[in-house]
Amino acid sequence: MTEDGPKGQAPEPAGGPVAEPTTEPAAEPADQDVAAPEVWHRVHPLTPILESFGVLVGIFIAAAYGLQNFAQAAIENLARGDDVDLGFAGWLRTHPLVILSGVGGLVLILLITALFSWLAWRVMGYRIDSESIYYRRGLLSKKLRKARLDRVQSIDLQQKLLPRLLGMAELVFDVAGGTDSNISLKYLSKKRAEGLRDELLAAVREKKQGAHQGERTPTSGVSAAAVPGTPSNAVGAPAGTEPGAPGEAEATGAPGDSGAEPAIDRSVPERRDDSIGVRLSKRLGSLAEGASAEAEFSINELLAPYNVSADVSDEGEIVRVPVHRVVVSSLLKTETIISVLAVLIVIAAAIVLLSMGLTEAFIPVLVAVIPGLFAAFSAFRKNLDNANFVVKLGENGLAVNHGLVSTSRKVIPLDRLQAVCLHQPLLWRWAGWWKVEYNIASAGGSGETNILLPVGDIDQALLMVGLALPDPQMPDGVSAASLVRSAMYDRKSEDPQAESAETLFHGQPRSSRLVDPLVWKRRAYVVTGSLLVLRMGVLDRRVDFVPHVRVQSMSYHQGPLMRALGLGTVAVHSTAGPIDPRVTHQSVDDAKRFFSEHSDRTRLARQRYDEEARRAKEGRP
């Protein structure tokens, strides 16, 4: 969690790791009995300027807008055959002292800005002790933030365009405890940021290793005591778990590529409901150089139910998405196409007005193209953040690097994934591309993207889904690959076992066609030994996967129209994210039956999962 401390007052320290030399007193050796003095380390001197860069861009845009109005008026005058009215510019030419005063004022503003930035930099800094990391800032309004090391979930290294050009980076601490609990430490030199990241991950590892001693696991589960007989009933989250977390039986450390606390508790043997990626990490431990052959054999063995294989490089790389695929897929997204069509329509309208001789209306209409161009560029640039998307096997999960203009490095802890989905926009069908997203038990940030795969073929999609989910525990005669392909393509699946897989799905009743006229035939769900699989969408295909042990709670809903049609919907609650699993518009009897049976199923799965961990920690078979 993060805490705001008293203004201008630092908390009591306990010493910290090695850091950059500063002009402040050095910390006493850690082995002394006396407490070490506070040692605050400063960030890069350009940090205040980079943080206020948005204001400078705003000023530039305002100046450009004024220049654009002047240019528009000049073009209109020239189109009518009139002289260009210089106005204020002509007046300035006859008053040079005004120009000198303006230049002097601008220089003064720059000097004041530089002084303010220097003073702001002097009070910015960070400090690390054995318990927490502290970050202070603010010249007029002082602010001190604290993040406990045992609450840190991950430490990501990010580089936006300008800091990247200047050789600087930002450290983002994902801290459990709320949506505003993350800490962003910016900016440091890239070398220093990487070194500090390794030091902090090692500190987190040491802290959590001590916390795991004597840890006990509570029994938890989803209660099915309340049978839905009213329009809305809910089943509470598993007892003894924090929101979005699977329970104390599962250690969740701070993931990282090197020197990190294992996010996966290897003191607990493989469990049937562990995701395949977690089981792989437990088998391989720390992936050393040259272990790619062993990793490839293990991953292909575990992914055999999905009928896919992975080529693991010497560095542990399993997926690489080429830039051109990200670019093409971005152009084929709905928001990009709508923006481009809007621009083309406005340009066509401007040309028509010009051909009709309406020159006064031509220029304003043509200027209206600018917002459309900005919208199209924004939609396109957002997708380019996933260019150079590379996934590597790590000891704590999947290490992901991505970014073309701005780069980011993060680790996805597979033992904290709560739900996974496959998504295929309409225009991606010709290429057979899919996108993979997830929900995770973490506070996260509002700007974070929960993406396992931005765009990939079906083999890459099945690979990522397989790593993120447990063995589906299919009945005899149907493979996991057949089930997933039927969920993706429904009756159009060409899998040899497609017909058998299709019989496992429970579709919507015919009465639901009034509320779902387009999708009622495709929407369906299937329950396997470890997963709930939901098939949705007609134009944009979508498949959601929710492991039984990750269900937080359930609720039953029936509105007036659904009551009249004899329909009900069951929401299977997950953590916050792009996935909102729902078994929609089933008959009342089927919905209530699913509610009751799935509540028991998830409760028993959670109890069994925690009991296996408890026995392992107590040394019992």
Q: Which residue has the higher pLDDT, 373 or 65?
A: 373
Reduced to 3 states, what is the DSSP secondary structure of residue 246? coil
Percent of the chain with pLDDT strictly greater than 70: 68
- How far from 579 is each of 244, 421, 430, 534, 542, CA to CA, in Å? 13, 7, 25, 11, 10
Q: pTM of whole model > 0.85?
A: no
Question: What pLDDT shows up at residue 197?
Answer: 81
CB-CB contact of 364 with 408 (8 Å) = no
Domain that holds residue 110: 41-122
CB-CB contact of 256 with 152 (8 Å) = no
Torsion of CA 91, 97, 102, 107, to 10 degrees: 160
Question: What pLDDT shows up at residue 219?
Answer: 35
In this structure, are 527 and 555 located in the same domain? yes
Per residue in 91-122, pLDDT tens? Answer: 556 667 766 777 787 788 778 878 887 888 88
Is residue 395 in a domain? no
The 8-class DSSP code of residue 148 comes to E
CB neighbours of residue 71 within 10 Å: 13
For the ranges 223-237, 409-423, 507-521, the lowest mean pLDDT is seen at: 223-237
Nearest residue to 265 via CA among 278, 250, 279, 255: 250
Is residue 70 in a domain? yes
Among 122, 150, 165, which residue terminates a domain? 122
Is residue 450 in a domain? no
Is residue 282 in a domain? no
In this structure, are 590 and 501 located in the same domain? yes
Q: Which residue has the higher pLDDT, 561 or 286?
A: 561
In this structure, are 481 and 541 located in the same domain? yes
Among 122, 137, 158, which residue terminates a domain? 122
Is residue 2 in a domain? no
Between CA 275 and CA 25 the distance in angstroms is: 48
In this structure, are 515 and 549 located in the same domain? yes
Token representation of residue 457 = 């073929």
Percent of the chain with pLDDT strictly greater than 90: 22
The 8-class DSSP code of residue 224 comes to -
In this structure, are 132 and 197 located in the same domain? yes
Whether the predicted pLDDT of 75 surpasses 70: no
Between CA 177 and CA 151 the distance in angstroms is: 8
In this structure, are 483 and 588 located in the same domain? yes
In this structure, are 609 and 489 located in the same domain? yes
CATH code: domain of residue 524: 2.30.29.30
In this structure, are 53 and 137 located in the same domain? no
In this structure, are 556 and 606 located in the same domain? yes
For the ranges 11-20, 91-100, 179-188, 497-506, the lowest mean pLDDT is seen at: 11-20
Is residue 563 in a domain? yes
Per residue in 314-352, pLDDT tens? Answer: 777 888 898 889 888 888 887 777 777 877 877 787 777
Is residue 610 in a domain? yes
In this structure, are 513 and 611 located in the same domain? yes
Those residues with Cβ within 8 angstroms of residue 616's Cβ, 6 or more apart along the chain or in another chain: 267, 268, 269
Question: How many separate domains does the chain show?
Answer: 3
Question: What pLDDT shows up at residue 413?
Answer: 81
Mean pLDDT of the residues in the chain: 75
Stretch 266-273: mean pLDDT: 73
Among 172, 192, 209, which residue terminates a domain? 209
Is residue 517 in a domain? yes
Question: What pLDDT shows up at residue 241?
Answer: 40
In this structure, are 530 and 552 located in the same domain? yes
Q: Is 89 exposed, middle or buried, given 0-12, 13-18 or 19+ CB atoms closer than 10 A? A: exposed
In this structure, are 508 and 613 located in the same domain? yes
